[in-house]
Structure 1
Amino acid sequence: MKVAFIINPISGGKDKAKLPEIINNTASNNHIQADIVYTARANHAAELARELMADGYSRIVAVGGDGTINEVARELVGKDAELAIIPQGSGNGLARHLGIPLTAPKAVEVALLHPSQRVDAAYINGVAFFCTAGVGFDALIGNRFAEAGSRGLTTYAKVAIKEFFGYKPKAYTITVDGQRYSRSAFLITVANASQYGNNAYIAPQADLQDGILDVVVVTKLPLISGPAFAAKMFLKKIESSQYVEIIRGRNITIEREEEDYIHFDGEPGRMGKTLEISVQPSSLKVVF
């Protein structure tokens, strides 16, 4: 088995100087050929993944945050090559959902020694995501967070609190497997996996292997309810909130009044009025 590690040297603001030694020692001890490459720019991980597959690598390890993992994973959908993950980001939503260790030595062992399983991929207007994608308040915060000078949960919380007071719910028409819903929503998250990251569970019942997406509609909640709502997310009890509705399905359309922000796997962006979201079951091999 030829294994390649794609390391994003700046993800999560974490020092990765010791990672090559950990990788080489673990690979050598288990008689595995492992090679290491580094990203140098945005979307470089995707380019490297394509090149490595062409060179015959059968397992490609994404070392970084959910954005880096997304870049690699989207190239592996429908391919024989396997994805493994060394979580080195701010939230590590996909790794946490899959139970991959957050410490590098243990994660490297999993990446090199565990078998793979098939999981679902999802798409929003043709863009692949594996954890969550959405619109509304969390999409706004994702874009503001990307512009912030620092990363981490503390920065995210500060940005969210600052924007909360002025944010107004927006009108959406949501179609799930042919059933239409009109909603005024604070945010809508489509979840393939259960959490945003940092163990904030937006869709506790979401399953990467069930071929179904969870559409989480959150109405505007009063400020006084904010702490209780946040607590429910971390306790996996968000479905009990009176401000939450979850609709499950395979083919989703979200219509809104204008082009606006979106997010996918923690990455910010903008898309048009109509968002087409679908799931591609059992299309990606992941090691966990």
Structure 2
Amino acid sequence: MLAKRFPKMRLLIIVNSIVAQTHPEQVEKAIRLLRNSCVESRVTETGKPVEATKIALRARYDDIDRVVVIGGDGTINEVVNGLVGSKIPIAVIPLGTGNTFATNFHIPLSLHEACEVAVGSNIISIDVGLLNHRYFACVAGIGFDAHVLHQLQPTFKRRFGKWAYAIASLRHLLRYRPSLVEVRIDGWERFKTDAWLTVISNVPTYALNFKFTPKASPCDGYIDVCIFFARSRIERLKQAALSLLGYHVHLNSVLYRRAKWLELVSSPRVLAHVDGEPICLTPVSARVIPHSLNVVVPKDWADTAKVVQ
């Protein structure tokens, strides 16, 4: 049983319906632990696209103190899109495939520990990115990774879990065709190049612990941009391998910038995603929205960020 941190706290618990079907015992246990820690809670399952966004938007006008998401990065992203600009904090119980959000904000994968964090008192204000019409808390990608995510079948993800993305990436890495991109950054830099991947990120760590943007921080008022130029296939393999440690930023075939905004046009048009969800084709524009989302985090993370009381 969790300690009653906030006996008067009212929780809205949003559960991804697929997670509820695949991990019913864990979901039930999480709900039970959370309900024991507050005076009032409401549980809602989501199954349709953007349904979690609509629920989170309604929560802004209800008497809700905190929204807790039980699920993965896709459901978290939908809730983020409903809470940006409000004072209601988001807490996360990570039961997804990649759990990029949980990794970057040090949210434990242990169910009991994650619930302890979710009802804790450490709340920070973070930046979010905006790609066209969709907010993202962690990362947006243009080109290769969005293509891989689009090709992934739900059954394949359930079978291989977090390794599904790695397997699919290896299948497509050398076959994916780069595109000619024209990029404008903060109004002072403009260039054209052949690129196979552009990452726009708010956090340092991506899926499978790839460090595409190792200098990124969700509290610095910037988005970090990493563009992988298309040279040879050998160079592409080198870029990908060094990205595991963040050393790719030293290659002359990689461009790394901290930015307030970015515009990108490509030929041919390519897919873009936010937090692992493909949403549109290029052209895209992206910008940072500073300190616009409140997040419940462990104490060690809160000690290094701006705490909201």
Residues of 2 paired with 1:158 and 1:191: CA distance? 23
Partner of 2:296: 287
Superposed displacement of residue 14, structure 1: 4.6
1:7 is aligned, of 12, 15, 20, to 15
Farther-moved stretch of structure 1 (233-242 vs 114-123):
233-242
Correspondence for 1:163 among 169, 172, 177? 172
User: Where in structure 2 are there 5+ consecutive unaligned residues?
Assistant: 1-8, 298-309
- Are residues 53 and 40 of structure 1, via their aligned partners in 2, closer, same or farther at CA, if it must alter by over 3 Å? same
8 Å Cα contact 2:60/2:86 also seen in 1:
no
Q: CA 1:235/1:16 → structure 2, altered by over 3 Å: closer, same or farther?
A: farther
**Structure 2 CA distance, aligned partners of 1:76 and 1:220?**
38
How far 1:257 sits from its partner (Å)?
Answer: 2.4
Q: Structure 1: which amino acid aligns with 2:33?
A: N
Report the equivalent of 1:69.
Answer: 76
| 2-structure distance, mates of 1:184, 1:226 | 12
Partner of 1:20: 28
Q: Distance in 1 between matches of 2:236 and 2:286?
A: 29
Do the aligned partners of 1:209 and 1:281 also contact (CA within 8 Å) in 2?
yes
Query: In the alignment, what sits opposite 1:213?
Result: 223
Change (3 A) 1:164 1:236: closer
Give the corresponding residue for 1:234.
Answer: 244
**Following TM superposition, by how much is the alpha carbon of 1:136 offset from its aligned partner in structure 2, in angstroms?**
1.4
Query: How far does residue 108 in structure 1 lie from its aligned partner after superposition?
Result: 0.9
In 2, the alpha carbon distance for the partners of 1:201 and 1:181 equals 24
Residue 96 of structure 1 contacts residue 197 of structure 1 at CA under 8 Å; is this kept in 2? no
Q: Which amino acid aligns with 2:142?
A: V
Quote how far apart the aligned CAs of 1:11 are. Answer: 4.0
Contact 1:20 1:36 in 2 (8 A): no
Identity among equivalent positions (%) equals 29
Separation of aligned partners in 1, 2:203 and 2:136: 10
AA aligned to 2:191 is: Y
Instruction: Choose which of 242, 254, 258 in structure 2 pairs with 1:248.
Output: 258
Write the mapping of 1:25-174 to structure 2, written as runs, cut at 5 A: 25-28=33-36, 30-145=37-152, 147=153, 149-151=155-157, 152-174=161-183
Indicate the larger mover: 178-187 or 215-224: 215-224
Aligned Cα root-mean-square deviation (Å): 2.2
How far, CA to CA, are the matches of 2:206 and 2:258 in structure 1?
Answer: 18
TM (normalized to structure 2)? 0.84
- The range that moved more, 74-83 or 240-249, is 240-249
Structure 1 position 73, deviation (Å): 0.8
Number of equivalences: 285
1:162-201 alignment, distance < 5 Å: 162-178=171-187, 179-201=189-211
Segment of structure 1 superposing worse, 242-251 or 104-113: 242-251
* Distance in structure 2 (CA, Å) of the matches to 1:83 and 1:141: 28
Shift of 1:50: 2.4
User: Using a 3 Å threshold, how does the CA distance of structure 1 residues 14 and 122 change in structure 2: closer, same or farther?
Assistant: same
TM-score by length of 1: 0.90
Measured in 2, the distance between the counterparts of 1:140 and 1:204 equals 23
